[in-house]
A = this chain, B = another copy of it.
């Protein structure tokens, strides 16, 4: 089953946004064992969308189109689909009613008339529900290929891809059996360092396959097995997982979909401890990541973003003399922030971050970050060196802070 991705949008050609959708779809296709040989981008131009669709339909078994489904005049994907499939445009009164309801319910106002374009569809196409936006997706047959049209907004597109497109394609591929993936999540070593330790498995193992993926400081090792049943696929994965864990040791922090945020909250809940944050350089990112988890309010009490030195003293009780003596980017200050946070927030576990995110050095070379953790059992601090890029340094440090909490809670050397 060859699947091709066609992204529609002049903003992609102008470089105003990066085609992250194509990468995200590529990851999902690889995970599902579907072949993926071409990605194409064209602008909001009917002739070029049509031509790209016709070529894709001719050389692939399925085409995933992203973008061009909005309500405006430059959303032309529906028209191009009609041309590629050789059908007329139809109109769904049912979808129109659904869209009007959505507007009334979610936005509390009447739908602009132009949004009725989203009730149009090529004859014979099936609407794909969009739980996070108004633009429905479409599935239709064009020549010998399946064509899926999904919205360009990633938050809307990805759930539709995962829940409605990939399972359909895997069933169509019909190779029988199941494809089972397992994610082994690592932190604390580079992608090349991990790849080196697993290089022979990557080269030689065909079932399960071994693949690597790096994002935001975390390295994911993905094992994928194909077998007649879920049980048989799991039996192929088990020894490979054991071997990978043996080689990577304490770099492995999780297997599966549980995120580091979820792990930290679960570990605190298991101990009956409440959690808080005391952040400077990360500016609220650690708190934001923790509160992105539904139900986090059971464990997470709150945090202080003490961005100015004065607030580190006023809210967290960091002695100004300590700041003067040790510097604001120091383990002593980070530890004082964590202890002060525990007092101020009434929390059992507090993670504190101070550092220099740049571009101007704030008392330490740009990229120098200090993380401290206090629990009822002790307090620990560590200095880490991040790339001198503000956003990367902040993101990687927020991950380092969450990993530090996990290690302190499970009693791992840190």
Contacts and interface: CB of A to CB of B under 8 A. Distances in A.
A345 B305 CA distance: 10
Given A202-B73, A292-B391, A314-B346, A114 B23 contact: no
A373 to B, nearest CB: 18
A196 B117 CA distance: 12
B11 A19 contact: no
B307 A304 contact: no
A349 to B, nearest CB: 14
Contact of A25 (B15, B72, B195, B304): B15
Interface string A16-29: 11111011111110
A112 B199 CA distance: 13
A392 interface: yes
B292 A390 contact: yes
Given A38-B41, A215-B17, A284 B305 contact: yes
Nearest to A45: B37
A214 interface: yes
A113 interface: yes
Given A70-B192, A195-B71, A132 B389 contact: yes
A214 B277 CA distance: 33
A305 B292 contact: no
B307 A72 contact: no
A174 interface: no
Contact of A19 (B18, B202, B277): B18
A30 to B, nearest CB: 5
Nearest to A391: B292
A283 B294 contact: no
Contact of A292 (B14, B220, B283): B283
A107 B306 CA distance: 28
A284 to B, nearest CB: 3
B315 A307 contact: no
A39 interface: yes
A193 B112 contact: yes
Contacts of A250: none
A125 B11 CA distance: 33
Contacts of A19: 18-19, 22-23, 39
Given A16-B214, A22-B41, A302-B305, 18 more contacts: A13-B36, A15-B25, A18-B22, A19-B23, A37-B45, A38-B52, A71-B195, A72-B212, A73-B199, A153-B214, A284-B286, A291-B394, A294-B390, A297-B307, A297-B362, A301-B307, A302-B311, A310-B346
Give me the 5 closest cross-chain CB pairs, A-B, nearest first: A283-B291, A284-B284, A284-B287, A15-B26, A15-B27
